[in-house]
Amino acid sequence: MHSVIVNTGGFTMEELAQIEAHAFALGVKSHTAVDAVKGYYDRIIKYLVMGNVLKNNTYPLSVSAERLVQALHIAEHALALKADAVAHGSTGAGNDQVRFDMVFHNMIPGVEIITPIRDMKLSRESEIEYLKGKGVNMNFEKAAYSINKGLWGTSVGGRETLGSKGMLPEEAWPTQVTKTGTEEVVLTFDKGQLVGINDSLFTHPVEAIQALQAIAGPYGIGRDVHVGDTIIGIKGRVGFEAAAPMIILKAHHLLEKHVLTKWQLNWKDQLALFYGNWLHEGQILDPVMRDIEAFFVSTQQNVTGKVWVQLYPYRFQLNGIESSYDLMSSKFGKYGEMNTGFTGDDVRGFSRIFGNQTAIYMAVQKDNNEEN
């Protein structure tokens, strides 16, 4: 028996060491810890930012995205070991079972998939009772909440999210609110990717995300409860906190609204909606995803500049952008006030031509109504 854990940004080195020690105590022949944080960004998060992807206009796909990276690395590890079977701990009630199973079926076909919690229909309460019976000592009150921490946010599930009403109590949130007042941060983007925070530039966007999370997380920014449709057809609720992802997505979108054309924004919105839904449903290996990612990258060539963000407890405000690619440049005119690229007569003629087909339609309708 071999064990593997894929770190997508939710574990400290101390926690990874404890997990390794526990694995060997259980009798594994080998234990592998895969550092997938930068690969997670390069393979998925980068495109979620470029697409401004929010599931149901709310959720930054924190868990769904990282589960796919974990499944891919586990499948690769199973291949390297020439394993006969692979096990995961998903229940039979959620999305993760489909994400893991589907990746395994595609990457390691024929390898048996073992899912004891799903197969035995174990509830969280029964799992806790089993652990207590085996002498496991831990904070079981905290275990009442399912917490999944990663680079792109932390999900929190518990009794309050099992029904259609209820908000998680303050103590259930992993990041407590310790900052008051307000502060401004400046985000620097280069071709759609976050590369700087305030006066600091980073060698990889992962470092910028982590730096922003450290600044904004203690404000309690990015807390919400997402209600969505699961892959298996039932509705589900989950709490999440994602200070850095929410700020980055909104700041990036604001910058795009200044530097992209109307139709670039229009098609990005449509493709991003499909991309986010298909990723959420575990279809990371579908080749159409590579096609959409290529489109996203193409649209980002001018998405370079700075975005000013004001942070407050539980919220943030976008103060504006600065970019050499800003299409709102005053030398072409000021909206609602003055234009320099055309005359009033130009607009009169344009308005007549632009509405010509509708004018023809209405004239024909009028003639027919008068005849009848």
The whole-number pLDDT of residue 266 equals: 97
β-pairing, 193-197 vs 85-87, is unpaired
Domain boundaries, the chain: 36-322, 330-371
Q: According to the CATH classification, is domain 36-322 in 3.40.50.1110?
A: no
Number of CB atoms found within 10 A of residue 314's CB: 10
Per-residue confidence of the chain (372 residues) as pLDDT tens digits? 999 999 999 999 999 999 999 899 989 999 999 999 999 999 999 999 999 999 999 999 999 899 999 999 999 999 999 999 999 988 887 889 999 999 999 999 999 999 988 988 888 788 888 878 877 777 776 667 888 999 999 999 988 998 999 899 999 999 999 999 999 999 999 999 999 999 999 999 999 999 999 999 999 999 999 998 888 888 889 999 999 999 999 999 999 999 999 999 999 999 999 999 999 999 999 999 999 999 999 999 999 999 999 999 999 999 999 999 999 976 665 655 666 677 888 888 898 899 999 998 998 988 888 777
Q: How high is the pLDDT of residue 36?
A: 96
Give me the pLDDT at residue 155, please. Answer: 94
Q: What is the pLDDT of residue 318?
A: 98
In 10 A of CB 351, how many CB atoms?
10
Q: What is the pLDDT of residue 68?
A: 95
Residue 208 contacts residue 41 (beta carbons within 8 Å): no
| Residue 110 DSSP symbol | T
